[in-house]
Chain A
Amino acid sequence: MKEQSSLESSEIFQLLYAIPDPEVPVITIGELGVLRSVDWVNGQLNITITPTYSGCPAMFAIEAEIKTILKENNITDFKLKTVHFPAWTTDWLSDDAKKKLSEYGIAPPQHSSQIKHLRPDEVSLQCPFCNSDKTHLTSWFGSTACKALYFCDNCRQPFEHFKCHH
């Protein structure tokens, strides 16, 4: 049987990798680690994704976007599967993605090895606007499950932090 699309799985992976996160569009679902794998199996495309937080509503939009892109590339026979293992962690974020977050005004997550045993109010962060270390936690829960709210005592303004989740 002829495959429906002549695209290699790696090419499709790149296409899907570039889908922006619906709420923080400066980073992509690939950089976030949500997109896990893309494989052709007997003429059917198998895609696996993993949720960031169990209750993250962006997953529905991400699934819809993946389907749209597959359709645009004439891929009709596919299986989109959500896997929960290995469980997502912010340690999967690339350095590049962290840089983009910072430029967007969100302090990126630290690597879990750096903050083991620390409580959230003990994590010291750099302000994404002025790079000062004089910052403090305002609220551990922010507008989305993945973010906390901090305040910079130097440039005197709030900023968001993409929390380390491990």
Chain B
Amino acid sequence: MEVNIEQLEKDFQAKIDAGISIEPKDWMPERYRHQLIRMMSQHAHSEVVGMLPEGNWITRAPSLMRKMVLLAKVQDEAGHGLYIYSATETLGISRDEMINQLLTGKAKYSSIFNYPTLNWADMGAIGWLVDGAAIVNQTALAKCSFGPYARAMLRICKEENFHQKQGYQILANMMQGTEAQKQMVQDAVNRFWWPSLMMFGPSDKNSPNSDELMRWKVKLYSNDDLRQRFIDRTVPQAEAIGIKIPDDKLKWNEKTRHYEWGEINWDEFYAVIGGNGPCNRLRMKQRNDAHKNGQWVREAAIAFAEKRKKNKAA
């Protein structure tokens, strides 16, 4: 029987329009598959590279409780990375291939992790702002058309919520502490505020993939909409504990019921994406070193498994 691609695509779109989720065994257009692999692997890479800036502070956390919370958070991220890699594999790409794309710089990860973590309050700022931005993104993705990704986002979001609260708590606590602690907090927020806004991607007028992704319900809201949502919910949280948002133009607009805010430094945005952020090279080196140093371990595991298989067969 002749397979009619046009008909398949029509049925596919009808399914999406009806809100039926697409499953790994279902037919899907190659371009849909490709876009999902791109997005999901980028997400998984972000979780894994994201372990580095926070991992920095595990050995230096200032109390056993904070150390425990941070260790657990980084473990969570690694676990999310593993889960999303596994979900992405169902689209027909191996984890080795994805990791290779990351290590060779072919695949991207969230640019926020190309910024350094310089003081302890950065652990709070990352939890509060970076996880906060991720939650806004992922809450939207929990309704996306690809079943395994949407389901993963649902549960991952709950865990991220927990991280965000913990991050906020680090900052709230420090804001009630000594002058030096308050300064640390403000310094951290000054450095992480704008990069957090950049996590939502280019402005809508410069976002090339958007139409197609929206039609396929891979993306449900525009970058600027999500960014605005993040700002609206985050600014009051800053005010509640006495943090100043580093944006002179920031003000509440009673009419639109939204915050107005300044302009993102798009030169910086594109520089970091292009590999020239403060830590791009360092992060890639750390990932590559870990991979290289682990080569003999992976080889040993394979060799051992093969020996066992042979013994069993014999």
Tell me the A residues contacting B by CB distance below 8 Å. 22-25, 55-58, 60-61, 104-106, 129, 138-139, 141-145, 147, 149, 151, 155-158, 160
Contact = CB atoms under 8 A, between A and B. Distances in A.
Given A55-B72, A138-B86, A147 B166 contact: no
A24 B158 contact: yes
Interface of B: 23-25, 65, 68-69, 71-73, 75-80, 82-83, 86-87, 90, 147-148, 151-152, 154-156, 158-159, 162, 165-166
9 contacts: A22-B162, A25-B158, A60-B65, A106-B155, A143-B82, A155-B23, A156-B23, A156-B24, A157-B90
Given A105-B155, A147-B79, A60 B23 contact: no
B68 A55 contact: yes
Nearest to B148: A157
A143 B76 contact: yes
A119 to B, nearest CB: 13
Given A158-B86, A160-B155, A23 B24 contact: no
- Of residues A24, A56, A145, A157, which shows the largest number of chain B Cβ atoms within 10 Å of its Cβ? A157
- Of residues A141, A143, A156, which shows the largest number of chain B Cβ atoms within 10 Å of its Cβ? A143
B72 A142 contact: no
Interface of A: prevailing SS: loop
A78 B308 CA distance: 58
A124 B83 CA distance: 19
A99 to B, nearest CB: 17
B24 A143 contact: no
Given A143-B78, A143-B80, A157-B24, A56 B86 contact: no
B206 to A, nearest CB: 34
A23 B65 contact: no
Contacts of A151: 86
Nearest to B24: A156
A65 to B, nearest CB: 11
Nearest to B23: A155
Contact of A144 (B23, B72, B86, B152): B72
A157 to B, nearest CB: 4
Given A143-B159, A147-B79, A61 B165 contact: yes
Nearest to B77: A143
A143 B87 CA distance: 15
